[in-house]
Chain A
Amino acid sequence: MNPPPTSYNQPITSPPPLPSNTNSGMNNPPASGYQQNYQRPPTSEYPQQPGYPVSGAGEPPRPNEHSYSKPNQPPYQPIHQQMSNAPGSYMPPPSTPGYIPPPQTINPTQSYPQPGPPGAAGVARPPNYPNQPVTAPPKRLDPDAMPSPIQVIQDDKINRGGEGFRTEGRGLVPPLVTTQFTVEDMGSVSPRYVRCTAYNLPATADMAKNCQVPMSLCVKPLSALPEGESPPFIVDPGPDGPIRCKRCKAYMCPQFTFTDGGRRFQCVLCNAITDTPHSYFDHLDHMNHRVDKYRRPELCRGSYEFIATKDYCRNDKFPLSPAFIFAIDVSYNAMKSGYVDLLCRQLHTLLDTLPKEAHQEKSSIRVGFITYNNVLHFYNLKSSLAQPQMMVVSDVNDVFVPLQDGFLVDLDQSRHVIDSLLDQIPDMFRDTRETELVFAPVIQAVVQALKSAECAGKLFMFHTSLPIGEAPGKLKNRDDRKLIATDKEKVLFNPASNFYEKLAKDCVAQACCVDLFLFPNQYVDVATLSQVPQYTGGQVYKYNFFRSDIDGSRFIKDFAHDLQRDIVFDAIMRVRTSTGIRAVQFYGSLYMGNTTDVELAAIDCDKAIQVELKHDDKIAEEYGAYVQIALLYTSVSGQRRLRLHNLNLSVCTQLADLYRSCETDVLMNYLAKKAVVSALQSSSAKLREELINQISVTLATYRKHVASPSSPGQLILPECMKLLPVYLNCLLKNDAIHSSHDVTTDDRAYLRHLIISMDVSDTQTFLYPRLIPVFGETVSIEGLPPAIRCSEERMKENEAYLLENAVSLFLWIGQSVDPAWIQNVFGVQSAAQIDIDLVNLVVYDNEDSRKLRDLVAKLQASRNRQMKFTIVRQRDKLEPWFKHLLAEDRGAGGATSYVDFLCHMHKEIRALLN
């Protein structure tokens, strides 16, 4: 049996059928009465290949050479369809050997017209299918003819995978996030740090409005880098601090031009001319480049860091090293769930792995401990003590920190006291009957503690249930399931009161980041509790019905990662832009005190921030557009530094240029975050309508102004955006957005919280999960078999699949999978005997087991969050849950399939065009 992946690779070896259109080089429609049309790429429209050595920016590539020399990456994904006026009948999908026809097909009574059969030239479709229904009466859109994310990802991997991406020049479109490549910083920021929805910005606001393509950046300022890429150089600018433009205060960057023999420089953002300080002066060479250009990272790099002077510090005082505070819920539920034992046991060793700077031998982070139920217990861990001292604060309505000296301690000096404390915590509360809990007072206390210690810090809070204790921030159960799918649904996701926002503001003012680990057995009001983490650059982790034996390792790994990852504190991010555009909206785990400064109590290497840009004037095409992102922060060792990312973008006056430089994954990242935020204001039906409308406008504008004229019956998508419909559908049917009775309010609020700080790679998978056949050949560089399209139709009964959406990981086992494999992997004889509570694969010494474990490990390694591992057998009662994630299929509760949605989009676009 041919495994399906080969058919996806087919285009590499065999070119797609040549279009036979007379003057465009596209093929004519088969003589079946359908209008088959392919859009020819206009010469100016073909995307530049940024990774290829191009002699000069802006030189138009020769169309023919590009369109035909790369047959596996056709510029456009044409969709042929015919509106059929006779609904009710459809053509079953073509059968291939081993292919199981899906039991469920499109409902013939659906309201919109049935799609017609695919055209002969479906690119993603292997040409060698038997019985190609080219001449059959058109009944149904062929899924293979629709743009396939798998194909696009695969194509990009092949075309650009492994290449070195040099950030030279302006407006270069980087490879997709799913592609592995290396980056060489040549003066513009690496796509690891910043990705854009479009690298070619519209010159005017009108243009932007017409196309409805948002101008937005996904900034991940501390992104972890793959091996081989060096982190930004650290520059010590001396006692006077970094050189800045006198008007807009932008920092010295490679784009600044020196004039007057080097005595002045011109800011690239505001064009103001500033005198070069004497200490910074150097001569210019014949190219008007400074002689020392390559000795100074700020003159030749896209990303670099400055060591900040006192002027950049709070109260003009160099900061102290930050502190980590652990607040552990020790109520009855907490003790029962067993996480306290586990955590205390693991902390002994995990404390040795606190983040430190490269040059440090040991971390300078101080630690402190709090336990709490309806009162707070602080611990005096002074090194001179033989035993820790517990101090109980019961005045939770007006909480305070009962000690200063001894609360935050140096790990090494107080090690014996800390160890003793960790040993005793589980015993002390083992028999507690206390079920009432407080929440906000813990955070208030930590803020006070950090204030009196005069340092920034991070609170790791471990919490089990709804805070019903009599204290500020008390919550009640407001999970009214009747509101779901009504206009009032949004109430559930808005915080219960503005108390937590105020609390978060206090946290930000003291640079206190809060990470929340939840272990709920019932409703805990994530929507409200997540406010503080969300505003303070923190994160929520949630382990429903936590059991140490099942969820323990996942929790500890998450916690360890959270504890160890790179993090900076007390940060302010400022986005400066060229005149004509400005940053107007920021999405992420952050707090905006005013409209320009992004206040981050802390930010770590996993957090991404979406920055939306707007025109306030027009930008000149020839100058390009520049963005400088400055992040002022306190490092884990207490050093105050500035990280700068300089982004060079192009500006265009032609829509075609714009459409060619878009990045759909970033666009979806933006749309997802925006949707999460908008969902707090409007109902999901309205939100859905708005999103569909916006994307329809984008696509219709393309059709109207960029694409060559063609029949209105054709759906023509820009090459860069051909996945927009499928991704948008994924977003709309995602649990976070889609009103569903199957998912709890807390889970949805949790997903929404996750989305808000996800990076592009995570959103891509989160929206369109990776479905990987376990028996597939390991081909790609990542060592994974190529993924298949997320549809049940693509799955086989004799195969097992891994499905990953950045949050969960499923192992689906087909009914007729080889029992030998089951024996090898699970040690049982049939699928029915598999213990599906298994959260870790048992280690067996055989090829199958090793391969599967290796696959799981690799999938996990690509995510910064531990995914919940679930085993699903075909026809199990858990299977609907799994199927729910098959992005291209119809889902429960009215979630549309890809096919249906595409048709719907087409209809919308046509309505706009008319």
Chain B
Amino acid sequence: MSTYQEYIMQNEDRDGIRWSWNVWPSSRLEATRMVVPLSCLFTPLKERVDLPPIQYEPILCTRHTCRAVLNPLCQVDYRSKIWSCNFCYQRNPFPASYGAISETHQPAELIPQFTTIEYQVPGSAPIGPLFLFVIDTCMDEEDLQAMKESLQMSLSLLPNNAVIGLITYGRMVQVHELGTEGISKSYVFRGTKDLAAKQIQEMLGLNKVASGNPQQGQQPQARPVAFPTSRFLQPLHKCDMFVTDLLGELQRDPWPVSQGKRPVRSVGAALSIAVGLLECAFPNVASRIMLFMGGPCTQGPGMIIDESLENTIRSWYDIEKDNNKYTKKAVKHYESLSVRAANNGHVIDIYACALDQTGLHEMKCCTNITGGIMVMGDSFNTSLFKQTFQKVFSKDSKGEFNMAFNAVMEIKTSREIKVNGVIGPCVSLNVKSPCVSETEIGIGGTSQWKASGIDPATTLSVFFEVVNQHNTPIPQGGRGNVQFITHYVHSSGQRRIRVTTIARNWADSATGQAHVAAGFDQEAAAVLMSRLAINRSVSDDGTDVLRWLDRMLIRLCQKFGEFQKDSPESFRFAENFSLYPQFMFHLRRSSFLQVFGHSPDEIAYYRYQFNRQDLTNSLIMMQPVLYSYSFNGPPEPVLLDSTSIQADKILLLDTFFQVLIYHGETIDQWKKAGYQEKPEYENFRQLMQAPVDDAQDILATRFPIPRYIETQHGGSQARFLLHKVNPSQTHNTMWGGGQQDGSAPVLTDDVSLQVFMDHLKNMCCIIFGIYI
């Protein structure tokens, strides 16, 4: 094993996990002094092409408080066919079917390279994944048309075994009956009313048959009440023609919208009906509710804003000052819906496309709790939406859908550590176990979490606590173990169990600090700290969070930096800490914490993505990546700094949400003069083309599709770039230094990274010893 860097990468590739500390402090006291908590970013369903297909159930530890899964870290006595659990040290006999095992003939789950393994449990779900489209009809003709086309297209992308349903809404909510002959039929609900699942069931006439046919009750295990609901939810192959036609005939909401009014849109009621319909008919069946909305909910439950355009939709100011009568009620409505959906294993996806806000701030819990997909765009008639939506149904290298359902993740730990909680798109199942800490971080107090919808990219942050006391040393060479057991339903309907077991060394309490510091993963730590900060900002005031973040940074520097007292110049950081302050600098400036200039919806969307993307993407979101293209050499990554903005260079900025190409002043002038058209300036054309091609690569691989922007010096869209770069030159510094190299000053009063770092060093060295 060469470097920690390689070790970390290897572990990430194999287990989908990144720890903030790769060597663990051996006692609670030491752990708290590490500043950054012991935590990890875990991708439960990380795409693995090399996993062996195991077609049986995992072997569990027989101690019923443990139930850990047999793994390569267990001690195995091949003679007596006994294995001892590496969590509770219980000795368990192998079942009879394992009679033939030996050192040379190991089952896959004991082979050391398979610390992550997947069991494909025999038997499959009775019904394929269910897709319930909930469609807004209050939008202009173009948008509606684009959405209809996307939906019609999506029918061909759905799995063969898919079952689909259709709900449309505007002023009213319509649940469409599928597969009727002649007259198309729909059940209509008032958009102003919140109905209980039972009422919905009654109104859709779903209760009649069940009660009228007692013989059906005798076999409840047979298809879950397939008969009455089949009017609304039908296998795709039976009704795709009908649904295609129905979508084709879909009209805009026929209720007139008068001048100065918003369309009356019943998002809340529609979602409530969708959740209710599935709840009573298909509990625990893999289902996605795909909600499409072209504007905010303007009536009934979950209302974001009223009809009148005189009243503007809430801003941060309104939310902070509690100046808005709808927000709290709406949040409550959507939260209760989300919890209901999550409990039944149903996913809610939100596709919101509008120029104004649509209420994602209130509705974010729908996707955050159920693990659904949230997409925010300007219009359904953009490639952003169309391609993103298409990607929802993309397939992996094995030709399988990138979506899984009803995932339950369970964590087991060695007795020295306990779980504080999880931050990510999931919901607690409230299962207490010995490895649950009393201190909660994120969603805590449980050892099991449920994500109704999950995909291979979904990454959760898990926080741990070392509970070992300082005076009970861990035996030399001891290792801490954590096991993640994830049950889920594959898109094929198959039930699968993925088990990841990891072990890390304990640091020796006397000499351990150097080892611990060496095992620091600054990228993971930065992302984990950011998630903690964002999690805090939901409940705490923005400035408090920033102050906390600063304090933690200073403490980390004090703990791990090398410096002489009162001499900031002497401050040195080890290589694996060096980038951390810079990440923090950009995090402080990012829209995750600085809400100024962004609508509540945008913030909700950004945070949603940040909390579920993997480490790389999260880092890009925190500190966007900037590439520079010039005649002077091949494209190179450059500092995210205003000095990088040069007149003769083309920049490619990737902020995850946006991919922006910026033409420097000179390049722009050349372009306007049309040099790229001339054969003799072929090289200029190529230079211009290079970032476009690179951008296309990014666009092609990323989900959701970022917004693609091409701009130039002085262009209005250049603000996306100027907003992100480190303001090393501002209008304040210009007068002294003058304009250098054609780089652009940034009009801001924000401090630059240099100032920030200087200040940080000062804080560390001068006020040494004082915990702020």
Instruction: Check B190–A394 contact: CB distance below 8 A.
Output: no
The answer on a CB contact under 8 Å between B172 and A402 is yes
Interface residue A171 (Cβ < 8 Å from any Cβ of B): no
Q: Which of B183, B187, B193, B205 contacts A421 (CB 8 A)?
A: B183
Q: Contacts A385-B249, A404-B254 hold; do A378 and B183 have CB atoms under 8 A apart?
A: no
Is B475 in contact with chain A by the CB < 8 A criterion? no
Scan B183-198; emit 1 where CB is below 8 A from any A CB, else 0.
1111111100101000
Q: Does B204 contact A (CB under 8 A)?
A: yes
A398 touches B193 (CB 8 A): yes
Q: Is B203 within 8 A of A395, CB to CB?
A: yes
List residues of A (441-496) whose CB comes within 8 Å of B's CBs. Answer: none
Closest to B186 in A: A391
Q: Which residues between 23 and 67 of chain A lie within 8 Å of chain B, taking CB atoms?
A: none
| A392 pairs with B254, CB closer than 8 A | no
Q: List 27 A-B contacts (CB under 8 A).
A: A387-B182, A390-B186, A391-B186, A391-B187, A391-B188, A392-B185, A392-B186, A392-B187, A392-B188, A393-B187, A393-B188, A393-B189, A394-B187, A395-B189, A395-B190, A395-B193, A395-B203, A398-B193, A400-B190, A403-B172, A403-B188, A403-B254, A404-B256, A420-B182, A420-B183, A424-B183, A428-B183
A389 within 8 A of partner (CB): yes
A406 interface residue (CB < 8 Å to B): yes
Do A388 and B174 touch across chains, with their CB atoms under 8 A apart?
A: no
- The yes or no answer to B548 lying at the interface (CB within 8 A) is no
B202 adjacent to chain A (CB < 8 Å): yes
Tell me, in angstroms, the Cα distance from A392 to B204 when the chains sit together: 9
B670 beta carbon closer than 8 Å to chain A: no
A428 to B202, CA, bound (A): 21
Query: Is B254 a contact of A389 with CB atoms below 8 Å?
Result: no
CA gap between A393 and B174 in the complex, in Å: 9
B205-A375 in contact (CB<8A) = yes
Which 9 A-B pairs rank lowest in CB-CB distance, beginning with the nearest? A394-B203, A402-B188, A405-B254, A392-B187, A390-B185, A391-B188, A390-B183, A402-B172, A389-B184
- A389 to B188, Cβ gap below 8 A? no
State in angstroms the CA–CA spacing of A394 and B199 once bound together: 10
A405 to B249, CA, bound (A): 15
Interface string of A719-738 (1 = CB under 8 A from B): 00000000000000000000
Instruction: State in angstroms the CA–CA spacing of A402 and B137 once bound together.
Output: 14
Residue pair B193, A406 in contact (C-beta under 8 Å): no
List, in ascending order, chain B residues with CB within 8 A of A385's CB: 249
Mark each residue of chain B from 152 to 193: 1 if its CB lies under 8 Å from any CB of chain A, else 0: 000000000000000000001010000000111111111001
Between A387, A394, A398, A421, the greatest number of chain B beta carbons within 10 A of the residue's beta carbon is seen for A394
B98 interface residue (CB < 8 Å to A): no
Does B756 sit at the interface, judged by CB under 8 A? no
Name the distance in Å between A420's Cβ and chain B's nearest Cβ.
8
Q: Would you call B174 and A391 a contact (CB within 8 A)?
A: yes
In the complex, B227 has a CB within 8 A of chain A:
no
> In the complex, what distance in Å separates the CA atom of A118 from the CA atom of B202?
75
Smallest CB–CB gap between A906 and chain B, Å? 66
B172 closest partner in A (C-beta): A402
Assess the B184–A390 pair: CB atoms within 8 A: yes
Interchain CB contact under 8 A, A389 and B193: no
B631 at the interface (CB under 8 A from A): no
> B182, B183, B205: which contacts A394 (Cβ < 8 A)?
B205
- Since A387-B182, A392-B187 are in contact, a sample of 6 more A-B pairs with Cβ atoms closer than 8 Å, ordered by chain A residue number, is A385-B249, A394-B189, A395-B189, A402-B188, A420-B183, A424-B183
**Complex interface bits, B299-325 against A, C-beta within 8 A gives 1, otherwise 0:** 000000000000000000000000000
Contact between A378 and B182, CB atoms less than 8 A apart? no
- Answer whether residue B255 sits at the interface, using C-beta atoms and an 8 A cutoff: yes
Q: Let me know if B187 and A388 touch, CB within 8 A.
A: no
Q: How far is the CA of A745 from the CA of B189 in the complex (A)?
A: 38
Encoded as 1 (CB less than 8 Å from any A CB) or 0, chain B from 734 to 766 comes to 000000000000000000000000000000000
The docked-state distance in angstroms from the alpha carbon of A392 to that of B254 is 16
Residues of B with C-beta under 8 A to A400:
172, 190
Nearest residue (CB) in A for B246 is A389
Distance in Å from the Cβ of B636 to the closest Cβ of chain A?
59
What's the tally of chain B residues with a CB closer than 8 Å to chain A? 22
B188–A387 contact, CB under 8 A?
Answer: no
How far does the alpha carbon of A400 sit from the alpha carbon of B192 in the complex, in Å?
Answer: 11
Residues on B with beta carbons closer than 8 Å to the beta carbon of A392: 185-188
Question: B188 to chain A: which residues have CB within 8 Å?
Answer: 378, 391-393, 402-403
Annotate A395-432 by CB proximity to B: 1 below 8 A, 0 otherwise: 10010101111100000000000001100100110000
Q: Chain A residues near B185 (CB, 8 Å)?
A: 389-392
Instruction: Report the separation of the CA atoms of residues A382 and B251 in the bound assembly, to the nearest whole angstrom.
Output: 11
Cα–Cα, bound, A420→B181 (Å): 12
CB distance from B387 to the nearest CB of A (A): 32
Flag A601-628 by CB within 8 Å of B: 1 or 0 each.
0000000000000000000000000000
A386 to chain B, nearest CB (A): 8
Query: Are A394 and B172 in touch, CB under 8 angstroms?
Result: no
Provide the residues of chain A in CB contact with B187, threshold 8 Å: 391-394
Residues of B720-736 at the interface with A, using a CB-CB cut-off of 8 Å, are none
CA distance A402 to B185 in the complex (A): 13
Nearest-Cβ distance from residue A221 to partner chain B, whole angstroms: 37
* Cα(A361)–Cα(B284), bound, Å: 62
Closest to A377 in B: B185
Chain B residue with the shortest CB-CB distance to A407: B254
A400's nearest neighbour on chain B, judged by CB, is B190
A407 CB to nearest chain B CB (Å):
9
Closest residue of chain A to B190 (Cβ to Cβ) is A400
Chain B min CB distance to A271 (Å) = 50
Compute how far the CA of A832 lies from the CA of B550 in the bound complex, rounded to whole angstroms. Answer: 111
Give bound CA distance, A56 to B195, whole Å: 78
> Contact flags (1/0) for A75-93 with B, using CB distance below 8 Å?
0000000000000000000
Q: What separation, in Å, do the CA atoms of A403 and B183 have in the docked complex?
A: 16
Within 8 A of B (CB), among A354-404: 375, 378-379, 382, 385, 387-395, 398, 400, 402-404
Select which of A402, A405, A428 is within 8 A of B174 by beta carbon: A402
Neighbouring B residues of A420 by C-beta, 8 Å: 182-183
| Chain B residues in 8 Å Cβ range of A395 | 189-190, 193, 195, 203
A324, chain B: closest CB distance, angstroms:
21
Q: Which residues of A contact B254 (CB under 8 A)?
A: 403-406
Chain B nearest Cβ from A307, distance in angstroms = 30
Query: With a CB–CB cut-off of 8 A, which chain A residues contact B205?
Result: 375, 394
A272 and B682 alpha carbons, distance in the complex (Å): 101
In the complex the two chains form, is B186's CB within 8 Å of A388's CB? no
Give bound CA distance, A420 to B174, whole Å: 22
The docked-state distance in angstroms from the alpha carbon of A638 to that of B172 is 30
User: Please, which residue of chain B has its CB at the minimum distance from the CB of A403?
Assistant: B254
With a 10 A CB-CB cut-off, give which of A378, A398, A400 has the most chain B CB atoms. Answer: A400
Interface residues of B in 224-269 (CB under 8 A from A): 249, 251, 254-256
Contacts of A427 in B (CB 8 A): 182
Chain A residues, CB < 8 A from B189:
393-395
- Bound Cα distance A391, B169 (Å): 13
User: Nearest Cβ in chain B — how far from A574, in angstroms?
Assistant: 36
Cα(A375)–Cα(B205), bound, Å: 9
Compute how far the CA of A392 lies from the CA of B206 in the bound complex, rounded to whole angstroms. 14
Residue of B nearest to A391 (CB): B188
**Beta-carbon contact of B183 and A387 below 8 Å:** yes
Contact in complex: A387, B184 (CB < 8 Å)? yes
**Residues in B whose Cβ lies below 8 Å from that of A428:** 182-183
List, in ascending order, chain B residues with CB within 8 A of A403's CB.
172, 188, 254
Least CB separation from A393: chain B residue: B188
Q: Which residues of A contact B186 (CB under 8 A)?
A: 389-392
Q: Which of B172, B174, B183, B187 has the most CB of A within 10 A?
A: B183
User: What residues of B have a CB within 8 angstroms of the CB of A398 in the complex?
Assistant: 190, 193
Q: What separation, in Å, do the CA atoms of A625 and B255 have in the docked complex? A: 54
Docked complex: A135-161 residues within 8 A CB-CB of B:
none
Chain A residues near B256 (CB-CB < 8 A): 404-405
* Residues from chain B with Cβ under 8 Å of A389 in the complex: 183-186
Give CA–CA (A402, B175) in the complex, Å: 12
How far apart sit A109 and B174, CA to CA, in the bound complex (Å)? 75
Cα distance A400–B188 in the bound complex, in angstroms: 9
